[in-house]
């Protein structure tokens, strides 16, 4: 059951957002993007369901658990780099098989290099250093939580950060491949 993991996701994102931006470096020659702590808690817009790429065999559910996970992340109070978000549980039949969160980067200097955000967020979610791979020609970061084996795939695409997870690496990779190959077009970005 993935419901308790939403809380882990939410709390981990809060802990990582500001300090890790200055500390992470995929390339020491490239400076980390700057973030500006919000002076007051802002409300991030809700992305439309149209940003969720159809994945064969999976339905997206706007559950109270998914909504609570966004409220708990406090992204709006820690960073101004995101301006909209959406979270959904992924189900097959009546079984929760994973989850996805999509964050839209706000225009500006912090959104120039999306590659900084994904590994940082995955590290905090999983507690392990992500590895890099290719899925459908897209660079993705992969991590598996040592605590419970949850597998995470994250990538940035078209001004968005996408975090997807499932109970095992094969399923997470498969869902990410279906998402990436399904197309995240500018027409559906919301």
Q: What pLDDT, on a 0 to 100 scale, did the predictor assign at position 142? A: 97
pLDDT tens digits, 97-114 = 999 999 888 887 655 566
pLDDT: which is higher, 88 or 30: 88
Sorted by where each begins, the domain ranges of the chain are 3-26+40-184
pTM: 0.75
Q: Render the chain in DSSP notation, one character per residue.
A: --HHHHHHHHHHHHHHHHHHHHH--SSTTSPPPP----SSPPPPEEPPGGGS---TT-EEE--HHHHHHHHHH-HHHH-SSEEEEEEEEEEETTEEEEEEEEEEEPSSGGGS-GGGHHHHHHHHHHSS--EEEEETTEEEEEEE-TTT--EEEEEEETTEEEEEEESSHHHHHHHHHHHHHH---GGG--
Confidence (pLDDT) at 32 = 45
**pLDDT in the model for residue 93:** 93
Looking at residues 85-101, what average pLDDT do you find? 93
Q: Which residue has the higher pLDDT, 18 or 168?
A: 168
């Amino acid at each position: 059951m993935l419901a308790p993991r939403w809380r882990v996701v939410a709390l981990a994102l809060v802990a990582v957002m500001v300090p890790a931006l200055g500390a992470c470096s995929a390339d020491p020659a490239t400076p980390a993007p700057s973030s500006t702590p919000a002076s007051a808690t802002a409300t991030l817009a809700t992305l439309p369901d149209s940003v969720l790429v159809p994945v064969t065999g999976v339905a997206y559910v706007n559950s109270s658990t998914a909504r609570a996970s966004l409220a708990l992340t406090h992204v709006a109070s820690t960073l101004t780099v995101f301006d909209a978000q959406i979270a959904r549980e992924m189900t097959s039949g009546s079984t929760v098989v994973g989850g996805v969160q999509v964050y839209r980067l706000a225009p500006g200097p912090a959104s120039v290099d999306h590659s900084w955000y994904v590994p940082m967020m995955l590290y905090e979610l999983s507690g392990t250093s992500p590895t890099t791979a290719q899925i459908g020609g897209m660079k993705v970061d992969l991590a598996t939580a040592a605590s419970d084996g949850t597998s995470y795939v994250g990538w940035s695409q078209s001004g968005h950060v996408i975090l997807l997870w499932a109970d095992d690496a094969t399923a997470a990779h498969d869902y990410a491949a279906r998402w990436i190959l399904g197309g995240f077009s500018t027409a559906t970005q919301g």
